[in-house]
Amino acid sequence: MIHVNSLATQTARQLLDYLHSCQAEMSSLLEELVLAESPSTVPAAQQEVLALLQKALEQRAYRVRRIRGRQTGGHLLAVPSTRHKHTLGDHKVPRSQVQPIQLLLGHCDTVWPLGTLEKMPLSLRQGKMYGPGIYDMKAGLVQIVFALEALAAHGFSPQVAPVILINSDEEIGSYESTPQIRRLAKTAERAFVMEPSLGPTGKLKTRRKGIGEFTVRIIGQAAHAGLEPEKGASAILELSFVVQKLFQLNDPQRGITVNVGTIDGGIRPNVVAPESKAIVDVRVLHPEDVPEIEAAILGLQPTTPDTQLIVEGKIERPPMEKTPGNQKLWQLAQQAASELGIEIEEGTAGGSSDGNLTSLYTPTLDGLGAVGDAAHAPGEFIYFDQMVERAALLARLLLAPPLKRNSY
């Protein structure tokens, strides 16, 4: 049973009322972010959206540092301006005097190419706000900004200092930002991931599948398909056997999905194919299944004589589990939702996020972003009115005291 404290309820309602008064400003910032198209694969496109976020955070008394990317658009790190004792590279402060931090993690990159707005214009219809990247996850970034503003407006100072990291490469695997995320997660007392909530009912994500990508290359032997086909070894024929073996690894009951997403091969119709390739997406729910599924794929053997398999890949993001610390954050979220007078549910996501990584090092709650649907799909949208509730939920969570040391 959740016990609601009257003082905590009053605090929550103050935050909620203030955020209701900010709806026009929230809408304005969200529109700016969505109109600043920012596909992961175009590093230069990240600069405008990062500049907008930097300005918004600096206006709310945060010190912002831009981390330059080598092959990406870079990242943004923000800490409270009033926070003079922190662990972000300051090794002169004794650990006993360091204020703990809580990590707010989000990304500004999207899967949508430049020019998508021409086909998917920003619009508001019947309480739904549409636009590329609005649900995944620019609305969640707006919720961060206004949750911080709501706290400051009422003079609420979190015991655990909010530190924000916004990366620009999450949709392509966070390959440049991972070291930053890992470093902060190891330091943080907890992490809140602002990925969109799960499904139209807005479930928070307390569990996620791990994800990996494998490439299977097949080397065969070319020959004339009409004159001397017997001298060839078809890499495409072998690929057909490999695809069937891979799909046989699917196990819905164990939460294992193996999908051959793309295939390629051959030279010409009249040549026995000397090479072929498949790229495979793998999702795993239970950590104990990771070694088994990796071994099964990496250990594939050819069926067709005179062909060779070269298999590369791994599970790059391990599953996000229901650790004791993660469950503690879920309980805090339930408490905060009760104080706000809203209902929330938890769910398991088939996709992965940077929360899979932070969960290895610190209690993590994911899916705190917008409520909506159709991520990565035409018609992507959010329920605009629920942005206020979710921003208030985040603000209330940021006021939680440090977790007990034995909670993780």
pTM: 0.90
| Domain-terminating residue out of 267, 294, 317 | 317
pLDDT in tens, 261-294: 999 999 999 999 999 999 999 999 999 999 999 9
State the pLDDT at residue 26: 98
Do 201 and 216 lie in one domain? The reply is no
Query: In terms of domains, do 56 and 167 share one?
Result: yes
Identify whether residues 199 and 73 lie together within a single domain. yes
User: 53 pLDDT exceeds 80?
Assistant: yes
Is residue 181 domain-shared with residue 285, that is, in the same domain? no
Confidence category of residue 85, pLDDT binned at 50, 70, 90? very low
What is the reported pLDDT for 6?
Answer: 77
79 found inside a domain: yes
Closest listed residue to residue 134, CA positions, set 341, 383, 359: 383
Q: Is the pLDDT assigned to residue 83 strictly greater than 70? A: no
Whether 1 maps to a domain, the answer reads: no
Mean pLDDT of 119-129: 96
Q: Give a yes or no: residue 71 inside a domain.
A: yes
Q: Are residues 340 and 268 in the same domain?
A: no
Whether 101 and 226 map to the same domain: the answer is no
Determine the Cα–Cα distance for residues 110 and 95; give it in Å rounded to an integer.
38
Kindly report the length of the chain.
408
Within this chain, do residues 238 and 342 fall inside the same structural domain, yes or no?
Answer: no
The pLDDT > 70 percentage for the chain reads: 94
The pLDDT of residue 93: 39
Residues 263, 362, single domain; the answer is no
- From 273, 293, 317, the end of a domain falls on 317
> What confidence category does residue 2 fall into, taking pLDDT thresholds of 50, 70 and 90?
low
Task: Judge if 24 and 149 occupy the same domain.
Answer: yes
Task: Out of 15-24, 55-64, 95-104, 360-369, pick the least confident.
Answer: 95-104
User: Of the residues 262, 294, 317, which one is the last residue of a structural domain?
Assistant: 317
What is the domain-level CATH number for residue 180? Answer: 3.40.630.10
**Residue in the structure block whose two tokens are 């940077």:** 354
- How confident is the model at residue 7, as a pLDDT? 82
Residue 131: domain span: 6-207+320-407
- Sheet with 381-383, edge to edge strand ranges: 123-125, 128-130, 381-383, 372-373
Domain count, the chain: 2
Question: What is the rounded average pLDDT of the residues 348-377?
Answer: 96
What's the rounded mean pLDDT across residues 133-141? 98
Question: Do the domain assignments include residue 297?
Answer: yes
Report percent pLDDT > 90 for the chain.
Answer: 91
Distance CA 134, CA 130 (A): 7
Same domain, 202 and 331: yes
Of the candidates 198, 199, 170, 168, which has an alpha carbon nearest to the alpha carbon of residue 355? 170
- Within a domain: 367: yes
Q: Are residues 168 and 70 in the same domain?
A: yes
- The pLDDT value recorded for residue 80 is 96
Do 202 and 347 belong to one domain? yes
